[in-house]
Amino acid sequence: MTKPRVLVARKVFPEVVERLRAHFEVEDNADDTIHPREQLLARLQGKSGALITGSERIDAALLDACPQLRAVCNMAVGYNNIDVAACSARKVMATNTPGVLTETTADLGFALMMAAARRITEGERYLRAGRWDRWSYDMFVAPDVHGSTLGILGMGRIGQAIARRGALGFGMKVLYHNRSRLEPALEAPLGARWVDKGTLLRESDHLVLVLPYSGETHHTIGAAELALMKRGATLTNIARGGLVDEEALARALRSGSLAAAGLDVFEGEPKVNPALLALDNVALTPHIGSASLATRRAMADLAADNLIAALGFGPQAGRPPSLLNPEVLG
Ligand code: 8YV
């Protein structure tokens, strides 16, 4: 029997590619070349499934040009790169990798929030530039993290893991805003309180964005929202760049109304807005929220499990563990 053909769009662990080869004829990308859309389309021809990352955009036009495609399996929890409704309309399974990256991403979010608040990367640049010649009482003074108010916009798994770090490790008061409220049993141990978005903006000392990105959440933090924030507050974004109007953010940081920002994601990444690069009070990392070796391996394994199951193989044949559009099963 001929094996179905699949594409592994970006370089992943060789062991994971080998697992896929047990079931499929695999076209992989060991050089990790970034394929422009036309080339991605060409590589997808005749493929039944694809293991993709956030860099590959799957939309209706692409699906129409690849009628053999049955499954697109993202190696990411966020799936704004996939038009799930378009997949469902064509009975293509779409999957993501929730759960396995929660703690690693929360670690990075907390670290970035602390780096921004305590001016860590700004201080390092100052030191490396040879500008440190004396101690002074107000050098790099900054807002405290411990005991302050942590605001979380988007209280899913990662939001809750950040809340845990803040409440249990740093004695922070936790406020959050989310479409739905957590069960009291989840709120209570964190002392977490649901508030409306305006209250969250007005009362947080350190606001962290952990909500999914979509057309509805585009620029959910813009000039009006930044104007509501406390003078001297910080903003950290580990979700998607498009959640924040970067021009408005740069203005708030330049004026000092916002003390600092911590950013792991950007609107045009891997390009970064020059207005942000020009500022000292921003801690920047290159979209590395889930970047621990163990977590990346778990993400690749889960994406592979999804692909194997979606195309009818393995113990979960026909039932991928993290299917985003279960309606295709009917
Ligand atoms: C990925 C992420 O590394 O899971 C997500 O949503 O943003 C990151 O963990 C990135 O999207 C590559 O697929």
pLDDT digits (tens, 9 = 90+) for 138-173: 999 999 999 999 999 999 999 999 999 999 999 999
pLDDT of residue 132: 98
pLDDT at 14 over 90: yes
pLDDT digits (tens, 9 = 90+) for 83-133: 999 999 999 999 999 999 999 999 999 999 999 999 999 999 999 999 999
Which residues share a beta bridge with 237? 209, 263
Contact criterion met (CB below 8 Å) for 7 and 44: yes
**Ligand 1 contacts CB of residue 82 (under 6 A):** no
**Ligand 1 contacts CB of residue 109 (under 6 A):** no
Q: Which CATH class is domain 102-284?
A: alpha beta
User: How remote is the CA of residue 54 from the centroid of ligand 1, in Å?
Assistant: 6
pLDDT of residue 1: 79
pLDDT of residue 160: 98
Q: Where in the chain is the domain with CATH 3.40.50.720?
A: 5-100+293-329, 102-284
Site to probe by mutation for ligand 1, drawn from 10, 238, 287 as the one with most ligand atoms within 8 Å of Cβ, is 287
pLDDT at 323 over 90: yes
DSSP 48: S
Q: Omega before 270 cis (within 30°)?
A: yes
* Average pLDDT score over residue span 288-304: 98
DSSP 50: E
pLDDT at 174 over 80: yes
Q: Provide φ and ψ at 147, rounded to 5°.
A: 75, 0
Q: Which residues are catalytic?
A: 240, 269, 287
**Ligand 1 contacts CB of residue 211 (under 6 A):** no
Q: pTM for this structure?
A: 0.97
Task: For residue 142, give every residue at least 6 positions away whose Cβ sits within 8 Å of its Cβ, in sequence order, or none.
Answer: 117, 118, 119, 259, 260
Alpha helices in the chain (DSSP H): 14-21, 37-44, 60-65, 84-89, 102-117, 120-128, 157-164, 170, 184-187, 197-203, 223-228, 246-255, 274-277, 293-310
User: How remote is the CA of residue 274 from the centroid of ligand 1, in Å?
Assistant: 23
CATH number given to 5-100+293-329: 3.40.50.720
Among candidate residues 176, 184, 258, 186, the one with its CA nearest the CA of residue 211: 176
